[in-house]
Amino acid sequence: MTSATRLKQHIDATLRDPRWMQMRQRDRSADGTFWYSVRSTGVYCKPSCAARPALPENVAFHASREEAERAGFRPCARCRPDRVSETLRYGIGESPLGLLLATVSEQGVCAMLFGADEHALEADLRRRFPQAQLQRDDTALRATLAQATALIEHPERAFAGPLDLRGTPFQRKVWQALRTIPAGATASYKEVAARIGMPDAARAVAQACGANALAVAVPCHRVVRGDGALSGYRWGVERKRALLAREARA
């Protein structure tokens, strides 16, 4: 059998394999069921990897990470297939400011997201936690959602449960500083930068506010521009205005 014939057979077998289509569609539901390697790059990936699609002649499928590594491939630096995925549970409920999604890990609440559409909320959650296995469980998250909603109705209360703050050391320092701003008060980005001992980092503080995944529990809505005007808010300036108005009346 010539090398050209072997190559053609390999390509034909790859294209007939149902895993090929799952790989091309970047099917997240297939993550953990198989891995694929790319001969031209020397790496192996998860089915959902966002890297440029590989050619079928370069692809091989593997039943496990270990099998791919025994074949001489290294983990892709983009999708990190060697990392064990954690499971995050989430629920979606109604709030005075639209739909609210809450997500919990073993360490605590790791996301509270506002939105107007369930599919958009779930897409935002997948983008924030690309390595996680996500399980929707509205019943199990009912108490967390109720507590998050209570923060909107009674902003003077602090979130009582544990929070799983995920970010860089700088981001976590900013988020902790935001939690010290009392309801009914605001601070400028420059003032927050000064509070964390980095007075020249106002722009970086604004970026950390934008990266916050815990709406209301980490009150980034209480940070305003130096002139007191409302600036951007991840979940819309109107929600920011509504939250501040509620807190002013509390």
Single-letter amino acid, residue 232: G
Single-letter amino acid, residue 39: R
Which value, in Å, is the radius of gyration of the alpha carbons in the chain? 23
Instruction: Report the DSSP pairing between strands 87-95 and 74-75.
Output: unpaired
- 17, two tokens: 């394999």
The DSSP 8-state label assigned to residue 58 in this structure reads G
**68: closest CA among 200, 79, 142?**
79
Active-site hit among 49, 76, 79, 220: 220
> In whole angstroms, how far apart are CA 245 and each of 55, 124, 155, 242?
56, 27, 11, 5
Concerning whether 45 is annotated as a catalytic residue, the answer is yes
- The burial of 108, by beta-carbon neighbours within 10 Å (0-12 exposed, 13-18 middle, 19 or more buried), is given as middle
Active-site hit among 45, 76, 79, 209: 45
**60: closest CA among 94, 22, 117, 10?**
10
Helix (H, G, I), strand (E, B) or coil at 49: coil
Helix (H, G, I), strand (E, B) or coil at 67: helix
Question: For residues 91 and 241, what is the distance between their CA atoms, to the nearest angstrom?
Answer: 25
**218: closest CA among 169, 163, 168, 167?**
163
Helix (H, G, I), strand (E, B) or coil at 129: coil
The residues that are catalytic are: 45, 220
